Amino acid sequence: MRLRYGDEEEAFRAELVAWLEANVPAAEVLRRPKRSSADLPDWARAWQRTLFDAGWLVPGWPPELGGRNATPVQQMIYFEELSRREIPRSLNPQGLGIISPSICDYGTPELRERFLLPTLRAEIAWCLGMSEPQAGSDLASLRTRAVLDGDHFVVNGQKVWTSGAHHADWCMCFVRTDPDAPRHKGISALIIDMKTPGVEARPFPELSEPDYLDFNEVFFTDALVPAENLLGELNDGWRLTQGSLAHERAMLWIDYAYSLERANQALIDLGDEPGVNGRRIGDDPVYRDQVAQSAIDAQALLCMGYRGFSKFMAGRSAPEHSLLKLFGSESVQRSLALGFSAQGAPGLDQDNLGPQMWRAGSWATQWLRSFGGTIPGGTSEIQRNIIAERVLGLPRA
Ligand SMILES: Cc1cc2nc3c(=O)[nH]c(=O)nc-3n(C[C@H](O)[C@H](O)[C@H](O)COP(=O)(O)OP(=O)(O)OC[C@H]3O[C@@H](n4cnc5c(N)ncnc54)[C@H](O)[C@@H]3O)c2cc1C
């Protein structure tokens, strides 16, 4: 589905596309294996800086922060063109997509001055310290403790699943500052230097890709954090968690939709290959039906995304976020499972998906990775709870 907007918007698209065609690094550079989501190799720093300098990193932001005051429709076009071409804006997505907007919205002028431009220019990388061993979906039960002692907070506790923590320079970390307040009211956000004595990041491997170390446990033992690194008001960190997650979700559906379109194309190409019984995979009528269903799902996802966006533009509440996250992440997962099962055993070890997917790897690896999409930012079960309560009006669980 390719929507056409007004002349001004299409002129914006043409300018962006021309700029991308002249400046995007070669495909083999973009596809180099990543070490983690906070590791910024020289080429990635240079690319993010190039986007920033040209006003194409955060086009919706004002020019003094490297943007061009792009309208919401122009921003949508921007994400469409990047997703369609699989172009990353940053190799530290949590720093750019979640933490920099949070600092922009909630930081003091000093924090904004100190952290915003270095983050946007890829001079520093971030991790996001939210989840703990006993606090994931139920984030409000987090226990990492920060006690204000003079001009420092003393932090003790543990985070887990902290993407890229071992390569990050800084962490936006949610801590409990008032253990006596109701759960949502005693939480604050701190900006923590990952080199602080008493902060230890321990990376651990993923099932889907044992050589790729992104997840970490992060331990805090009497770590001293300057009081001026408080982001937002003391004990008002819950407001930031809602803001941070909203930033994370805002245009995620566009990525899911284009990932699904690419996966569907790969499924069509796979149809020419021999399957488990030696016959051409595409001759199996069940396979053909399932590929057709997946193509329909991709179009449905785009329609639902654009409908949510239109409602947002008209100032109406849009429950589509949860529907899009759930349907997008699970549709991608279904399409990858289809390729994997059609191939049978060879799907376990062949690099069959080809360069058109966002990372090289077998169908099986891609399928295992796809679980990563159904968990962060609210698991599929949590999205179903939200849809049941807020969209369908069922009683609260
Ligand atoms: C790829 C990836 C990157 C991540 N990066 C980060 C990061 O950088 N920083 C960070 O802080 N965290 C990160 N996380 C962690 C992520 O936020 C948590 O995994 C997520 O919030 C779920 O929490 P949990 O793992 O503790 O699972 P739990 O909350 O313990 O859930 C376990 C299971 O129970 C289900 N469940 C829980 N509550 C309910 C309920 N009320 N109703 C029905 N079912 C329920 C869940 O759906 C799930 O299936 C990342 C996770 C992934 C997969």
* Active-site hit among 80, 86, 132, 248: 248
Residue 356 has pLDDT above 50, yes or no: no
Tell me whether residue 13 is exposed, middle or buried, using C-beta atoms within 10 angstroms of its C-beta: 0 to 12, 13 to 18, 19 or more. Answer: middle
pLDDT at 358: 36
Task: Answer whether 200's CB lies under 8 Å from 155's CB.
Answer: no
pLDDT at 367 (0 to 100)? 87
pLDDT top residue among 126 and 397: 126
**What's the gap in Å between 275 CA and the centre of ligand 1?**
36
Whole-prediction pTM value? 0.92
The whole-angstrom separation of Cα 354 and Cα 368 is 17
189-241 per-position pLDDT tens digit? 999 999 999 999 999 988 777 778 999 999 999 999 999 999 999 999 999 98
Query: What is the arithmetic mean of pLDDT over 264-276?
Result: 91
Same fold, 126-235 and 251-391: no
- Pair 289, 266: CB distance under 8 Å: no
- State residue 355's pLDDT score: 38
In the CATH scheme, what is the code of domain 251-391?
1.20.140.10
Average pLDDT over residues 247-262: 82
User: Whose Cα sits closest to atom 7 in ligand 1?
Assistant: 162
What average pLDDT does the structure give for the chain? 90
Q: Is the CB of 137 under 6 A from ligand 1?
A: yes
pLDDT at 354 over 80: no
Any ligand 1 atom below 6 A from CB of 94: yes
- Ligand 1, residue 371: give the atom nearest the CA: 53
Nearest residue by C-alpha to atom 24 in ligand 1: 136
Question: Ligand 1 pocket test: which of 255, 375, 384 has the largest number of ligand atoms within 8 Å of its C-beta?
Answer: 375
User: How close is the Cα of 39 to the center of ligand 1, in Å?
Assistant: 23
Average pLDDT of the segment spanning 49-65 = 95
In this predicted model, which residue has the larger pLDDT, 317 or 160?
160
CA–CA distances in Å: residue 210 to residues 36, 93, 214, 215, 397 = 12, 21, 10, 11, 37
pLDDT grade for 246, boundaries at 50, 70 and 90: low
Read off the pLDDT of each residue in 284-294 and give the average, rounded to a whole number: 97
Mean pLDDT of 365-391: 90
Looking from the CA of 52 toward its CB, the CA atoms found within 13 Å total 18
CATH architecture of the domain formed by 126-235: Beta Barrel (2.40)
Name residue 182's amino acid: P
For residue 128, the model assigns a pLDDT of 97
How many of the other CB atoms lie within 10 Å of CB of 189? Answer: 32
pLDDT at 192: 98
User: How far does residue 160's CA lie from ligand 1's centre (Å)?
Assistant: 10
Q: What is the mean pLDDT of residues 83-91?
A: 93
Nearest residue CA, atom 14 of ligand 1?
A: 161
> Cα(266)–Cα(276) distance, rounded to whole angstroms?
18
pLDDT confidence of residue 250: 66
Does ligand 1 lie within 6 Å of residue 229's CB atom?
A: no
Does 248 qualify as catalytic in the annotation? yes
pLDDT (mean) for 247-259: 79
pLDDT digits (tens, 9 = 90+) for 96-151: 999 999 999 999 999 999 999 999 999 999 999 999 999 999 999 999 999 999 99
- What are the extents of the domains in the chain? 7-91, 126-235, 251-391
CA 30 to chain centre: 17
Does the C-beta of 388 come closer than 6 Å to ligand 1? no
Per-residue model confidence (pLDDT) at position 248: 53
Ligand 1 pocket member 168 (CB < 6 A): no
Tokens encoding 119: 């983050």
How much is the pLDDT for 68? Answer: 95
Mean pLDDT of 335-356: 70
Q: Which residue lies with its CA nearest to atom 27 of ligand 1?
A: 136
Give the Cα separation of 334 and 293 in Å (integer).
10
Residue 376 C-alpha to ligand 1 middle, in angstroms?
6
pLDDT above 90 covers a percentage of the chain that reads 72
| Integer Cα distance of 50 and 176 in angstroms | 39
With tokens 């949610």, the residue in question is 174
